[in-house]
Structure 1
């Protein structure tokens, strides 16, 4: 190969590398994680973090991918950077199955201790007993769902195991709902300034996983909480969508997906005004529909979707 041709390829490689933004690398990393290609996910995160290391969520997710490939050094580096950049979900990190391989190491105890100290400082003015109760509820809610998804996503899902874990999940949800309803009825939708970010998030998760009548009961309270800064607009968007579909109406933000029993393909549940969904999503702090669909392994083309919408409405018995 002559020198001129070699130089051309070097230049082209540099141009292509520069064309990739931080978000591009993270998107590829997330896609590889979803496909269980954790080694490639780590490689893409490494490229992303050469550009910047600021997003605690991305750093945490990268730590998970690294742990799954037994790259413990990178895993702990990224997890600690996540903590340094604002990660504070100590309830989740303790039950995250992706990180199980790290639990028996000395660095794990140091990392958890570091996070605990940070959380203790942040929570100095919290209602400690209430926060503790909500974090325990969170662990119950998300822990059983982690177990369920591990079985559900297995190469050959065991239907008996799915049904068994499903029953346990329903039992736990019923108990958690009673506890959360008591809190909401007595204290209202308490904000993160009282119970921390994760405690506040727990209120939404339990209501989001409840029956329609309870969602309808607490939806107005959550709307008011968003106005007062005690709940996040993005979480409210998810609850608005779920209630709308259960009531036979189209969703607003495109947060809900379903599987077509006839084709076995996943799709975005019936959505009002698809052309302007990205504008509505941006208003509540959600990414674009295309980004969300890719993460959920759902095809998204707005023109195709609009043509398919009448059939999707029939599938889900949409009346409005």
Structure 2
């Protein structure tokens, strides 16, 4: 009997290991923009393992395909994926942009918030939080397509591989404008969102949207973000990004190395004040060293110039 149990445990382990390998293959295909082949890999893993991770990947990939049938598929697998999930991550997942105007999305929102609150306590300003989550998705929702084309832009010597990117960029800009218009009204009504009131994740959305606005708007709202940050109510990275961006726009050197420029199709940070001290400044506000951040986010190999 013991040997039979061991045998079945071994088979289960092999299936999980195989499933994880196929998931990685799917991720690689998805990174290249090959959504249908990626979807087949995720489906294969789900058949093998029935895992929530595979189900979530099927949902997010199906949502990126934007058709009615694929939205149905996305909702089916998303509901399965989050049954035991009490996080808020699905509510600010950019790849779910095609789902958020569907009536079924409201149930996803309500269920995730209720599960989150059961574990973490009530969200003080739930209506504001829910609007901010949707704004994050609208702000970032076209980044998947945009980033694939931006990589090709670099590879092609400064040319996009398809004119289809231009209407995508136009829709991205439209979403940003709609977000800003709505956010300004919400800020007038509620004030700056704090982590305590709307959760850290939703609060980060306000800074994200303001940082994508104009210099004048950033200058107006940065003091509110700074005050929230000093009280421990805002993410360090959001504070650093807006602070650095304002400095760069004013012709000054940035403090935390978050702002990137393109020089001859090569990405590099804008000039940094006392670069040998940048990691110390970042540590003081709760950020890790700059070099790993630049490598992970932008594939930039950076070191302090001798």
Q: TM tier, shorter chain?
A: 0.5 to 0.7
**In structure 1, which of residues 109, 126, 151 is the aligned counterpart of residue 149 of structure 2?**
151
Map of 1:261-300 to 2, 5 A cutoff?
Answer: 261=264, 264-295=265-296, 296-300=298-302
Residue 40 of structure 1 and its aligned partner are, at CA, apart by: 12
Task: Give the Å deviation of 1:113.
Answer: 3.0
Cα distance change of structure 1 residues 260 and 76 upon mapping to structure 2, 3 Å threshold: farther
User: Are residues 190 and 131 of structure 1, via their aligned partners in 2, closer, same or farther at CA, if it must alter by over 3 Å?
Assistant: same
- Residue 197 of structure 1 corresponds to 200
Cα pair distance change 1:254/1:133, threshold 3 Å = same
CA distance in 1, matches of 2:286, 2:58: 27
- Does the CA-based 8 Å contact 2:244-2:255 persist in structure 1? yes
CA-CA distance at 1:128 after TM superposition? 2.3
1:224 aligns with 2:227: yes
1:246-299 CA distance string (max 9 Å, x none): 1111110001111113xx211111111000111111122222122112212112
Q: Report the count of equivalent residues.
A: 232
Partner-residue secondary structure (3-state), 1:207? helix
Instruction: Report the Cα offset of residue 215 of structure 1.
Output: 0.5
Structure 1 residues 198 and 301: alpha-carbon distance in aligned structure 2, compared to 1, 3 A threshold: closer
In the TM superposition, residue 38 of structure 1 has moved relative to its aligned partner by 4.5
Shift of residue 243, structure 1, vs aligned partner: 1.1
2:184 corresponds to: 181
Do 2:52 and 2:82's aligned partners in 1 also have CA atoms closer than 8 Å?
no
SS in 2 for 1:267: strand
Q: Could you say if the C-alpha distance between residues 285 and 143 of structure 1 is closer, same or farther in structure 2, counting changes exceeding 3 Å?
A: same
Post-superposition offset of 1:244: 0.8
Distance 1:41 1:135, change over 3 A: closer
Distance in structure 2 (CA, Å) of the matches to 1:209 and 1:98:
28
Give the TM-score normalised by the residue count of structure 1: 0.62
CA distance in 1, matches of 2:304, 2:266: 17
Unaligned runs of 5+ in 2: 1-22, 29-37, 86-111
Give ranges in structure 1 of 5+ residues lacking alignment: 1-36, 43-65, 81-89, 305-320
- CA distance, structure 1, for counterparts of residue 58 and residue 115 of structure 2: 15
Q: CA RMSD in A?
A: 3.6
Q: Distance in 2 between matches of 1:285 and 1:98?
A: 36
Per-residue CA deviation, residues 41-67 of structure 1 (Å, 9 max, x unaligned), is: 99xxxxxxxxxxxxxxxxxxxxxxx98
Contact 1:226-1:233 at 8 Å conserved across structures: yes
